[in-house]
Amino acid sequence: MGKVLTKDPALWREVKAAGHEIGNHSHDHIYVRNRTKASIKRSFRIFEEVDYPLVFDGETFPEPGLARVPFAEGPINQLVQEALYELGDKQVHWLRDSYSWARDGFDSPRNREYALAKIENLAQGEIGVMHFTALDLAILPLLLEILAEKGLTNVPFSVLWAARDKSYYGY
């Protein structure tokens, strides 16, 4: 989210330098299903009003064309799809969530077990979503180990997008 990114830009520079893709999750985490197209577009491009996008060492944040809608727990309606398309964004949609936010992101053995159980059943090509919480930061190494033991490879979204079945998606 833009408001999080602007609070600690050095952290995001470090994330980017580590080779991770950083997309747009809106500026203010709006619930898009009951918004107008204009308000959706404004939330995903409000950065222009707050000296955005941010540029560090020639890198732009968030990466243009990559967006994940807040509260996207199901199919996104046509209005949302049109707004993102008009902005030139590819919509990232996840299949599994760690639900660390449901435990207030608090790291404990019980919460680790809960969050891992929610996300560890990913298959190759599926997208899992995690949050920037103490709980998700604690389980991430464990999750990557579990997925590697299954023979799965962790790849950035751009790799998945390039490999998608274009006949299925109509692109």
CB 11 within 8 A of CB 54: no
Of the CATH numbers 2.40.30.20, 3.30.1490.190, 3.20.20.370, 1.10.15.40, which one belongs to the domain with range 1-92?
Answer: 3.20.20.370
Residues of 148-169 as b/e, b for ≥16 C-beta within 10 angstroms? eeeeeeeeebeeeeeeeeeeee
Per residue of the chain (171 residues), what is the pLDDT tens digit?
A: 666 776 777 777 777 777 777 777 887 788 887 888 888 888 887 655 445 455 555 666 556 678 888 876 555 788 888 888 888 888 888 888 898 988 998 999 999 999 999 999 988 888 888 887 899 999 999 999 999 999 998 888 888 878 776 555 454
